[in-house]
Amino acid sequence: MFKKLLCVLLAVMMLLSLTACKTDPQESETQATTTGSAGETTAAPTEANLPYEFGLGTTFRANDPVTYSMFLQDASWYAMVDTWETEGVFKKIFDLTNVKLDVTKYDWGDYSEGIKLAIAAGQGTYIIPKIYDESAYVGGGAVLPVSDYVQYMPYYTDFVEKYNMQADLETITQADGKYYRLPGMLEAPMQDYTLMVRSDIFKAAGYDIKELEKDWTWESLCDVLKGVKAYMVQEGMIKETDYVWSDLWAGQESGQGTGGNLLKLIGASYGVPAGWASGNGMEFDEEKDEWYFAPISDDYREFVTVVNRFIKEGVLDPETFTQMDADATGKFYRGETAIISVNRSQISTWRQGLDEILGEGNHETYVTVYPKGNNPYIAERNRLENGVMISTNALNDLGEDGVIQLFRFVDWLFYSPEAYTLIKWGVEGETFEYVDDPVTGGQVKKLLPGFKCGGLGIGGAEEDVDIRLQWGYAGGNFWYGGTVAEMADNFTPELIEFYDRLSQYRELAPANPPVKADSEEQEMLAMIQAPLMQEVAKWTLNFVLGQTEINDENWTEYVNACRTLNCESYVYITNDIYKG
């Protein structure tokens, strides 16, 4: 099965016309090449008598203890506790590297705004992870052009060369030929978020979920959920005024006022950026070779109309777009709803919640390929994930040599296989072990008895210790990107089968080309983008919730509101930059 997964993902990679570069992972840095800020390949410098160890196959270690400040996106469902620093992931990082991470925490929903305000006040930490869009920070000089320093990052540059990431990096390169975010890099794109259904309820209502998922659409899902709801009402499981779907990652806690994950998934199904993927609202037309403002397109109108139908038909709970995430999972655990969003790290958590409330054996669930819209694409199209910025404060405080040492550490922490395993699984012999895999003939990682991990999708007994809750392993601040093997090293047979089905039923969308704005152009675009996209978010949720009817008159008013906020100027500037 695991070999089958690798074949599936490698097939996806072939769609991207990737060719692997044969690089010995143990070669010394003096033999390696590095990719500069504009993609040029230069010889890596030879350095001696440095106050730290570095290089491929080497654990970074400072000769003397050093402290680096770092923002951390805290999550209520696995909030940071003292044992992360005294026994867990931060302690292990220090033991290996001699680096203490001085953490400034912001809750998941407050992270973006919190770090934005801190950076504006000149209080940016040295290391700034979990950044999806760095453009707001580039013009003011608050963050370093990280591409100037990748020559000092052997693990990073090895991945770039081995998996031909140069074209991907061009998509985040600015007009000055530099980029300002060290991205998580993927050997191949991988869809994480999808839907989990109560398959026992669907089956009892007369629906074969495994057949439906092959080619169902969001419209047909709505029809199915109407039938599921009718069955649940008939059986006395819910009332007619209740909803069969009440989702998370879309409300006030983590939806960021845009509809979050749910609108991202459905929006991508109609070829428009929405929810978490709203960004600047721009989408690329390959036939015309130009950019357009997607939120005022016919596709966008179709998208909000479809989502509104779920609300109008009494299927989707309107509280989805306002409630706390725990409210949504609670309704699912209590059997009040029959479908919910899930990602691969939360599958076991959702099932454990059902076990605790409904009782083990009293429910069946299925992780399904989510529906199509007017295209067959999955929501993920890029090989670049969110990434890490480095504050200018680091250079000011540490000096040039000190900031190079910082980049050496960041290279190990975010890009070395050793750190990937530590941060995801913990320590061999303490939390996990390697065991023989009868399928592949190789070895695979397995948690030791007495441990479980929601972040890895590995359940266990109630008394088992969750290594993420207790020690901070498998958290979202470090672990993103990686090779196919790394990303799949915790996959259950169920997940492997899911990705096999996903590859059969869905396709990978073509990546958009880069738009390289200079600092002046970025500032101009940012001034338009902020109020414009706030207006889009407001109207989108009003349309979705039915607070504003989606008719010609209201749609025209919405389009005019976007034009008043200079969406056409945004399109003109973007295309002018794109076409040079």
Instruction: Locate 155 and state its tokens.
Output: 């693990």
The answer to whether domain 26-187+383-425 and domain 194-379+517-579 are alike in fold is yes
Does residue 389 register a pLDDT over 60? Answer: yes
- pLDDT bucket at 481, cuts 50 / 70 / 90: confident
Q: Supply the pLDDT for residue 48.
A: 52
Q: For strands 66-74 and 61-62, give the pairing.
A: unpaired
Ramachandran bin of 288, using left for φ above 0, alpha for ψ from -120 to 50, beta for the remaining angles: alpha
Find the helix or strand (DSSP H, E) in which 329 lies.
Answer: helix 325-333
Q: Supply the pLDDT for residue 9.
A: 45
Judged by average pLDDT, the poorest of 162-166, 274-278, 437-441 is 437-441
Q: pLDDT tens for residues 21-45?
A: 333 333 333 333 333 433 343 334 4
Q: Supply the pLDDT for residue 32.
A: 33
- pLDDT bucket at 53, cuts 50 / 70 / 90: confident
Instruction: Locate 433 and state its tokens.
Output: 């072990």
Would you call 444 helix, strand, or coil by DSSP?
strand
Place of tokens 């997964």: 5
Does residue 391 register a pLDDT over 80? Answer: yes
Q: Which of 191, 190, 187 lies closest to 18, judged by CA?
A: 187
CA angle 134, 140, 145 (to 5 degrees): 55
What is the C-alpha to C-alpha distance for residues 216 and 370, in angstroms, rounded to an integer? 8
Does residue 14 register a pLDDT over 50? Answer: no
Domain ranges of the chain: 26-187+383-425, 194-379+517-579
DSSP 543: H
What CATH number was assigned to the domain covering residues 194-379+517-579?
3.40.190.10
Query: Phi/psi of residue 439, each to 5°?
Result: -80, -50
Average pLDDT of the segment spanning 445-466:
93
Would you call 529 helix, strand, or coil by DSSP?
helix
Q: Supply the pLDDT for residue 528.
A: 97
CB-CB contact of 518 with 176 (8 Å): yes
- pLDDT bucket at 315, cuts 50 / 70 / 90: very high
Q: pLDDT tens for residues 126-151?
A: 999 999 889 889 888 999 999 999 99
Cβ burial of 555 (10 Å; 0-12, 13-18, 19+) is buried
Pick the CATH number of 26-187+383-425 from 3.40.50.970, 2.60.40.10, 3.40.50.1110, 3.40.190.10: 3.40.190.10
Q: Supply the pLDDT for residue 172.
A: 93
CB-CB contact of 62 with 52 (8 Å): yes
Q: pLDDT tens for residues 517-560?
A: 888 898 899 999 999 999 999 999 999 999 999 999 999 999 99
Q: Supply the pLDDT for residue 356.
A: 94
Q: Which of 138, 579, 30 lies closest to 390, judged by CA?
A: 138
Q: pLDDT tens for residues 92-107?
A: 999 999 999 999 999 9
Query: Phi/psi of residue 478, each to 5°?
Result: -115, -35
Q: pLDDT tens for residues 145-176?
A: 999 999 999 999 999 999 999 999 999 999 89
Judged by average pLDDT, the poorest of 395-399, 510-514, 569-573 is 510-514
Q: Supply the pLDDT for residue 26.
A: 31
Higher pLDDT, 479 or 379: 379
What is the C-alpha to C-alpha distance for residues 89 and 473, in angstroms, rounded to an integer? 6
Helix 298-312 and helix 519-545, axial crossing angle in degrees, nearest 10: 30
